Amino acid sequence: MQPLILNDVDSCVQAIIERVGTRLMVGTPLGIGKPNHLLNALYRRVAADASLHLMLMTALSLERPSGNNELEKRFLGPFAQRVFGDYPQLEYMQALHAGTLPANVVISEFYFKSGALLGNARAQQHYVSSNYTHVVRDMLAAGVNVILQMVARQERDGQVSYSLSGNPDLTLDIHAPLRAAQKPGRKIAIVGLVNNQLPFMHGDAEVAPEFFDLVVDNPAYAHQLFGVPSMAIDPAEHMIGLYASSLIKDGGTLQVGIGNLGDACVYALQLRHADNARYRQLLDTLGVQKKFGETIEQLGGVERFTTGLYAGSEMFSDGLLHLYQSGILKRRVYDHEQLQQLLNQGRISESVGAETLKALLDAGVIHTPLSAQDVELLRHFGILRPDVGYQDGALRLADDTRLEADLNDPESFSRIVHQALGARLANGVLLHGAFFLGSNWFYEQLRGMPEAERRLFAMTAVSKVNEIFSDVQLEQRQHRHARFLNICMKMTLLGAASSDTLASGQVVSGVGGQYNFVAMAHALKQGRSILMLKSVRREHGKPVSNILWEYAQCTIPRHLRDMVITEYGIADLRGKQDWEVIAALLNICDSRFQEALLAQAKDAGKIMVDYRIPDAFRENLPEKLQTTIQPLRNAGLFPEFPFGHEFTAEELVLGKALTDLKSRSRTLGGKLAIALGLLMPQSRRPYQSCLQRMALAQPRTFQEKLLARLVTAALAASGAE
C-alpha cells in the first residue's frame, strides 16, 4: 500500500498519534539519519500535552557546538554557523542539557556523542548498554511502535523510490518484525521525512514507497547534514596510525572508524601506497621494523597495495573514501560464495574471458547446457552481457541471433565467448557499511558521484555488516585477512579493555559495534582485532597511564584479547600466557609507569619475580617521541591536518591558545599563572586579527576588556606570533 504523503511535520505528528495512540515508543536512527524537524515537532507536541507519553530510543544525537562559557561561545559561534549552516538543533537534547525535559518524555540512547553527557543524571540513568546488533531486539522488547527516518527521494521513469541513505543500519532489521507484528493487530507507524541533501544510496538502502506508512515531503525541511570537522593529529596519534598501517595485508579487509586514530592510519596507508620507499625508510628510522618486524611480516605487510582492500565497516566515513580515491580501497567482493572463492584463489579475475566460463563450469557453479538460472546468474555478474536472453534452451542476442548453450561443444563455446561475454564482472562492491557520518567534503563527494560509482558503496543492515551469521562461508571468503581497528580508553595488563565507561559507571560513549568486531575477528579464520589507545592521558593537569593493572569497567573481556597498539608499539596478545600478555603490554606502556605496573603484576604473582623490562622498551617517553618526530614533520611527514580542515588561520591559532588555557585552568598552579598573566603589561597589537575574530578587538565593557586580556595572555603563553 502506498504511504500517505504529507506536507508538514505537525500534520504528520497528528497522523502518527491517530495511528498508534498516545503512548509513543519511537525508534530513530543514530547520527545523521534523524529527521530533526519531525522529531522537534513530535517533542513539542508531547511536551505540551501531559496525556501523551514519548520514549525515544536512539543514539548519537548530534548537536551544533555552542560552548560552555563566553570565550567558547565567541570562538564556536561563527565557526558553527559556517560549518553546520542550517543544521537544526534537536530540542529534546537542549531540554536534556538544561534539565527541563518533561516527565512524560524519556530519552534512551545506546551510544552517546563521546563525553557529551557525562554528569547528566537523566541521560546516564536511561542509557542502554547494548551491542549494535542487539539494539533492534531491545527496541522490540521495549515495544517500539514508531520508526522515524530521514530519507532521500528519487523519481525515475515516473516511479518514486526512497533511500535510507546513511542509516539503513537498524531500520532494515526492524522493518520486517514490525510488519509481522502489525498483522495480528499491533499499531505501528513507519515514517520518512525527505531531505535530498542526503546522498541517494542504492542496494539494500533503496526501498519502495510502500516501505513507509507516512512520508513528509516538503523542500522546506531540507537542511545541511551534520559535518564532522577534522581535528589536528598529534605525534602520538600518528605513531599509532603508522603501526596500524603495517598490520594491514594487501588483498585484505579493513574496518576503521572516525576520529584522529582512524585518520592517522589512513594517512600512513596512503604513504605506504604512494611513496613506498619513504614509508619503508620511515619504519626503519623509527625502529618499527627492529622491534616489531616479525609481527609485521607474519600478520601485515609494508608493500604497495596491488590487489587492494575491501572495507567491511559499520561506519563509512572520510577515511575510507580517501582510501578509495587513493587507489587502495579497490578489492571488490561479490555476493556469491563460489564466485568469490574462485577470485580469492586466482582462478578467475575481474576481467571476463573464456577462462571465466571454464572455471565456473569446472567448479559446478554453472552447467552445460546452460539453464535459464545459469544465464541469469552469468548476466547478473556481468559474465554475459545484459542484452543476452534465454529462450528454448539457447541464448538469444539483441539482434535475435541464436547461440547453442552447450559449453562442451567447441563451436558453441567459441561463439558464446566471442558474441555474448561481458568485459568485466559486475555488481561487486568495495564496501559494506551500516551507517555513514563524515565531513561536509564527504557528503559532497557522495552526492557528486555518478550512480554507477556510488553503487560500489553498499549501505545495508547492521546485522549484515557486524555479524557473519547470515552466510558464514560467503563472509569468510569476502572478509579475508580482516583487520578490525577500534579505539579504547583503558587497557588492563591482563588484556581487558574499557572503551565506553569510566570507573565510576559514567558512560562516555557506548559499546556500539566494538564487541561485534572483536567477536568477528576471532570467528574469521584470518581476522584480527586491533585496539588502539594513547598510552597516557592528562587528569587534573597530571599524566596518568591508560594501561593499568585493573579497572572497574570492561567493554572487551580479557579472554577476547588480541592486538593492542599505543604510540610505543604493537602488542600481540592472542593465545599468549598471562605473563607474556603483561610483558607485551609493558613494552608499549609509557616508561614513567612501567616499573610501578610491573611491581603490581609481581605482587599478584602473575609474572616472574626476576622479570625485567627489555632495555629497548625503557625509553617510551613523550619527550623522546616528540624529538624523533619533529624533524620528520619539518620534512613534510605526519602533518597535523593530512586531509585538510575547515578552520581559518586565526581559528587555528586561537584553538591552540584556548585549549592550553582550559588545560592550565584545571590546576591551582595553572590558575595562578593565568592570573599573573592578566596582571602583566600587554600589547594587543600582534594579536589584532585573532581578537577581531573573537569580537574583542575594541572591547567596551569591563567583561570584554577582561576577556581581551585573557585571550591576549593565552596567545602569548601559547607562543602565537
- One DSSP character per residue, 606-629 reads -S-TT----GGGS---HHHHHHHH
pLDDT at 665: 73
Torsion on CA atoms 432, 438, 440, 444, rounded to nearest 10: 0
pLDDT at 677: 62
CATH superfamily of 235-331+431-617: Acetyl-CoA hydrolase/transferase C-terminal domain (3.40.1080.20)
pLDDT at 658: 87
Write the burial class of residue 559 (CB in 10 Å: 0-12 exposed, 13-18 middle, 19+ buried): exposed
Q: Identify whether the C-beta of residue 7 lies closer than 8 Å to the C-beta of residue 211.
A: no
Please indicate whether the domains covering 4-221 and 235-331+431-617 agree at the CATH topology level.
yes
DSSP one-letter string for 473-514: HHHHHHTTTEEEEEE-SEEETTS-EE-SB-TTS-BSS--TTH
pLDDT at 208: 97
Q: Which fold has domain 4-221?
A: Glutaconate Coenzyme A-transferase (3.40.1080)
Residue type, 343: L
What are the sequence ranges of the domains in the chain? 4-221, 235-331+431-617, 337-419, 649-717
**Measured distance CA(111)–CA(147) in Å, rounded:** 18
Phi and psi for 315 in degrees, rounded to 5?
-105, 130
pLDDT at 258: 83
Q: Identify whether the C-beta of residue 114 lies closer than 8 Å to the C-beta of residue 161.
A: no
Query: Helices 235-245 and 260-274 sit at what angle, rounded to 10 degrees?
Result: 60
Q: 313: helix, coil or strand?
A: coil
Neighbours of 705 (CB within 10 A): 12
pLDDT at 662: 83
* Averaged pLDDT, groups of 10, the chain, 721 residues long: 95 98 97 97 98 98 91 91 95 97 97 95 97 96 97 95 97 97 92 97 96 98 96 96 98 93 97 97 95 96 97 96 98 96 95 96 95 96 95 92 94 95 97 96 97 97 88 89 97 98 96 95 95 94 95 97 98 98 98 98 98 97 95 95 93 89 70 60 74 91 89 84 71
Q: 260: helix, coil or strand?
A: helix
Segment 119-166, tens digit of pLDDT = 999 999 999 999 999 999 999 999 999 999 999 999 999 999 999 999
Q: Identify whether the C-beta of residue 499 lies closer than 8 Å to the C-beta of residue 511.
A: yes
pLDDT at 493: 98
Q: Which residues pair with 572 in a beta bridge?
A: 563
The conformation of residue 336, written as its DSSP 8-state character, comes to -
Kindly state the helix (H) or strand (E) to which residue 281 belongs, with its residue range. helix 276-285
CA separation (Å) from 654 to 84, 185, 351, 409?
A: 20, 59, 54, 76
Q: 554: helix, coil or strand?
A: coil
pLDDT at 682: 64
pLDDT at 706: 87
Q: Which of 544, 614, 602 is nearest to 578 (CA)?
A: 602
Q: 636: helix, coil or strand?
A: coil
pLDDT at 155: 95
The three grid cell numbers given for residue 285, joined into one nine-digit string: 628510522
pTM of structure: 0.94
pLDDT at 471: 74
**Measured distance CA(592)–CA(615) in Å, rounded:** 14
Task: Give 221's contacts (C-beta < 8 A, 6+ positions apart).
Answer: 9, 35, 37, 38, 193, 194, 195
